[in-house]
Structure 1
Amino acid sequence: MLGTARRTRKRIGLGRIVLDGGLLILSFLMLVPFLWIIATSLRLPKDSFSLPPAIFPTAWHISNYAEVFAKVPFVDFISNSLKICVIIVIGHIFISSMAAFAFSRIAFPGRNVLFLIFLSGLMIPGQVTIIPQFIMMSKLGLIDSHLALILPGLINPFGIFMIRQTMMSISFSFDEAAYMDGASRLWVFLKIILPMSFPAVVVTSVISFIAHWNDFFRPLIFLNSFEKMTLPIGMTALTGAFGTGNLSAILAGVTLSLIVPLLFYIFGQKYLLDGMTAGGLKV
């Protein structure tokens, strides 16, 4: 039996080595495009399409990054995107968490039906609603304004669903004990349920931030002034007329644009798995 146990442990160890090696290879393959982007941003433009393509730069031309700031108001694009994304995330979490609390902890007539109506919004593509949104923003005089991007982004059925699922998994004994001590419903929401739902809040914050940071379609429709443009649409200026811009400078801009969402993701990554699994699929 001792020999059998040793052979079993050996097979498990060998299988673990093969699995870890396969995952490392797969991870490297997934990183190759990002390595190529960074490497190309440091090359001369004439070396961008060399064959075979080089993953690592042979020369370091930091001037490509300086060209980004010289050709476009890159800092303004960053600040516009940050302003819009931060306001949307704060407002979205404020609204979604309160709606999730109502759907999960308050028994009112038609609660489940109303929740299903909210969920049906997940099946409607954003492109379908862009025309009524444009007409509404036009009547409100918000075209070429950041509010035209902020207001529709405040409500997201996915965020309500995510936070509600986590709140449903929290025992109602916490609420009952607090109510017996004389706590108000608002106090229970702010001091007990919302802190316990923090992983789901972080998940929805990260998803919402990255989605609006990378959004190209809606800013293209609602914004006209160059100084009000967000980063994705403002970056098109680097391509130049007929797409003849410096590819190295373009990819330098792309590399810089990755820094903010990467930092945001690093901050919330430890909560992502917890938030995705904490609520399960309880309805």
Structure 2
Amino acid sequence: MKIQSEKFRVEPDKKFRLDDRPTIIKPYCKSKKQYRKTLEDHVEELSSLQQLHYASHRYALLIIFQGIDAAGKDGAIRHVMSGVNPEGCEVFSFKQPSAEELEHDFLWRTTCRLPERGRIGIFNRSYYEEVLVVRVHPEILKNEGLSEELRDEKAVWKERYRSIENFESHLHVNGTRVVKIFLHLSQEEQRKRFLERIDEPDKNWKFSITDIHERKYWKQYAAAFEECLNATSTEASPWFVVPADDKENARLIISRIVMDALKDLKMSYPKTTAKRKAELQAIRKLLMK
């Protein structure tokens, strides 16, 4: 079974249409048992790559998850990154901005959470909310403290796309690799998952009446995502559109995307110097006594 991550990439030089990408594809595994074994193998390989990434200490990896409510962001992060050493990986979720965050530019609150070299940073939602939910609900702009001139709807989204692209380009040339994953969910599958959250007691906490309210804006969100992905998928910091109706398939695809991103870093363990080897041999002799 070969999962090709490039198949899900949004090419920067081609016009992207969200309707052209499926929300579900043929399962990679024929059974639950095969899926669990495949994911286990992926997680094990990811763990080894993360250890190498941590030891080489040359790059940082930022993974951004975006998607409509119930697309499976939390579950994907939990399952795919289950074998990664917590010491080398941090997850941040970004909700409604705080009063302090609104006093800064829209990139400020996420910039403070960027991963260090040798580490993996995961953003569950991100600065992209500022060209997605804020675009669908432009009234939010009025509460962001911007002057009327800077809130001009004819220019604000284009300027924010440009800010994001420049920001990610800056990260890239300074050693942070950015991988962006959009979980592509169908409206019908979202309806089913919302019903599960209502019917299953242990999932009640996941459901909010605002989730139903946001469903009314499905077409507006789809348009915002499509324009955003077209504007911000670059060669250095690509978007990947992952079919999300099948959670198991989505997790296998995501794990492959992350593994390929780490492999592209061409990492190696630090070489031991002659002086360091001598020190270790001296310590070894002491331990053998």
TM-score norm. by structure 2 comes to: 0.24
Higher relative contact order, structure no. (Cα contacts within 8 Å, ≥ 6 residues apart): 2
Larger relative helix fraction: 1
TM-score norm. by structure 1 comes to: 0.25
